[in-house]
């Protein structure tokens, strides 16, 4: 339940030492440094088995059990304050609070993303939000650190932060779920092994969303291999429309726009209609046939067609790998930016004549892509969180052949995870170069 809707202090939690909690009826904009002067502490609960891990003088109230683990979702620090949005003059024009879950919340991508979400950059300056942060038990300390930084940022729109390790707790009533947490492929790990390990995470999270999330929750899967993880997630969430699940290919779209802009010598806002077809892997197909620069077909502006077919395509497919070579780790900031772009594309109307790319469920697609996959395609939105496929994009032989390769790869991945999608016994015949993530090259 959204804390903002409560009008009385929440006193039932056994997880927080009462001395770390304060009561605040209104004026959330009150500067933090004065709060302690005005607000009396709640009464203590001496029998509680849970104690605060920091002294009362410390800045950060941290909910832990005596064994050091946070077991359940729990509100964090200043966000445990109880308030009534409707009572505040300046917030009356705000929209109803929305709940947003982020998994892998202690990771690098989230560290960029959460502050963008909290600032209002994604959902707008009149949209209060509650962040529900899911981490692993190993990452719980870091998750508390994230929550502390969110507290210290004094974002007016951020009304509640919960942290936890159980998706059934954390996903309660969420309207958006951004699933970032996944195990990276380690040395010597077979692709089939990676699909299995991550697949189980996404099967569990799909089940949890199915049970406790808002029935129209929108789910964006970022953790790799994101297309197949999204498929597993949606198959385990039969009560949620399959159409609500997305795999993030917006990063690839952004990378493709950047490369075309560089080649054409224009700024990247001049590039539009950029489709990424297929898998977020090295078989993805950045579509230069239908993309436009300054409203003109790319092939008219960039006449080096050999570069388009080879140099451009490969540079987008392998951009993530090149970045890992430079950084020593996967892209994080640009991934977070592309998550913001992907969500904004769903909550704001698509500009006339343009579209965006996102990995969506293929049932009923007009391009002959096998049904039952999560495949990146061109989409448009009215800004209501939903989307429709763009149905009349031209596909030539070059595109058709490349798209077929990405489709075959996703079908092979799907066979590997049949045991997780309820489609029988898994049979994994992935070749050594199949399902290469952009970062694996």
Which residues of the shown chain bind ligand LMR in the complex (CB under 6 A)? 224, 251, 320, 323, 330-331, 437-440
3-state DSSP assignment of residue 196: helix
Question: 218: closest CA among 379, 354, 438?
Answer: 379
Instruction: Please tell me the distance from the alpha carbon of residue 284 to that of residue 303, in angstroms, as a whole number.
Output: 22
DSSP secondary structure, 404-435, as one string = HHHHHHHHHHHHHTHHHHTSSS------TTTT
Cis bond before residue 225 (omega within 30° of 0):
yes
> In the Cβ-directed half-sphere of 100, how many Cα atoms lie within 13 Å?
29
Instruction: Please tell me the distance from the alpha carbon of residue 360 to that of residue 368, in angstroms, as a whole number.
Output: 14
Q: From the candidates 17, 36, 112, 280, which is the catalytic residue?
A: 280
Do strands 285-287 and 275-277 pair parallel, antiparallel, or not at all (unpaired)?
antiparallel
Residue nearest to ligand LMR (CB): 439
Count CB-CB contacts under 10 A for residue 382. Answer: 12
Residues in Cβ contact with 49 at an 8 Å cutoff, skipping those fewer than 6 apart: 14, 65, 66
- Annotation says 280 is catalytic: yes
Angstrom CA distances, 22 to 37, 255, 296, stand at 11, 46, 59
At closest approach, how far in Å is the CB of 202 from ligand LMR? 15
Beta strands in 118-267 (DSSP E): 129-134, 158-164, 176-179, 218-221, 245-247
Gyration radius of the chain's alpha carbons: 23
At closest approach, how far in Å is the CB of 256 from ligand LMR? 12
Contact in structure between 17 and 50 (CB atoms under 8 Å):
yes
Question: Which CB, 409 or 440, lies closer to ligand LMR?
Answer: 440
Contact in structure between 184 and 109 (CB atoms under 8 Å):
no
Beta strands in 317-411 (DSSP E): 356-361, 374-380, 388-389
At closest approach, how far in Å is the CB of 440 from ligand LMR? 6
**Ramachandran angles phi, psi of 409, nearest 5°:** -65, -45
Just list the catalytic residues: 280
């Amino acid at each position: 339940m959204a804390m903002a809707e409560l009008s009385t202090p929440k006193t039932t939690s056994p997880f927080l030492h009462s001395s770390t909690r304060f009561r605040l009826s209104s004026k959330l904009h009150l500067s933090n440094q004065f709060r302690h002067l005005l607000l009396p502490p709640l009464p203590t609960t001496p029998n509680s088995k849970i104690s605060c891990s920091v002294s009362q003088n410390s800045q950060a109230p941290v909910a832990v059990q005596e064994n050091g683990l946070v077991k359940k979702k729990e509100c964090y620090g200043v966000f445990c304050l109880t308030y009534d949005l409707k009572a505040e003059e300046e917030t009356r024009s705000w929209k109803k609070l929305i709940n947003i879950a982020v998994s892998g919340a202690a990771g690098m991508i989230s560290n960029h993303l959460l502050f963008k979400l909290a600032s209002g950059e994604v959902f707008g300056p009149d949209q209060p939000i509650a962040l529900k942060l899911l981490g692993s038990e190993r990452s719980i300390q870091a998750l508390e650190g994230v929550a502390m930084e969110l507290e210290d940022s004094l974002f007016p729109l951020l009304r509640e932060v919960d942290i936890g390790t159980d998706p059934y707790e954390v996903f309660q009533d969420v309207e958006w779920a951004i699933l970032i947490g996944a195990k990276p492929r380690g040395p010597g790990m077979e692709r089939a092994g990676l699909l299995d390990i991550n697949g189980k995470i996404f099967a569990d999270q799909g089940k949890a969303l199915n049970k406790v999330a808002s029935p129209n929750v929108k789910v964006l899967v970022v953790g790799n291999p994101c297309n197949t993880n999204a498929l597993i997630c949606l198959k385990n969430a039969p009560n949620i429309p399959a159409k609500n699940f997305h795999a993030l290919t917006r990063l690839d779209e952004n990378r493709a726009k950047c490369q075309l802009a560089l080649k054409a010598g224009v700024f990247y806002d001049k590039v539009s209609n950029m489709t990424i077809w297929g898998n977020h892997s090295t078989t993805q197909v950045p579509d230069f046939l239908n993309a436009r620069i300054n409203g003109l077909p790319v092939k008219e502006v960039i006449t080096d067609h050999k570069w388009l077919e080879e140099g451009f395509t490969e540079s987008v497919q392998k951009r993530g790998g090149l970045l890992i070579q430079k950084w020593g780790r996967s892209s994080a900031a640009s991934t977070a930016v592309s998550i913001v772009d992907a969500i904004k594309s769903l909550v704001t109307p698509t500009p006339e004549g343009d579209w965006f790319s996102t990995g969506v469920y293929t049932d009923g697609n007009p391009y002959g892509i096998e049904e039952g996959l999560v495949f990146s395609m061109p989409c448009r939105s009215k800004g209501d969180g939903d989307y429709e496929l763009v149905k009349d994009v031209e596909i030539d032989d070059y595109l058709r052949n490349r798209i077929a390769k990405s489709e075959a790869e996703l079908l092979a991945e799907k066979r590997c995870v049949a045991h997780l999608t309820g489609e029988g016994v898994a049979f994994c015949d992935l070749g050594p170069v199949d399902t290469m993530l952009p970062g694996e090259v």
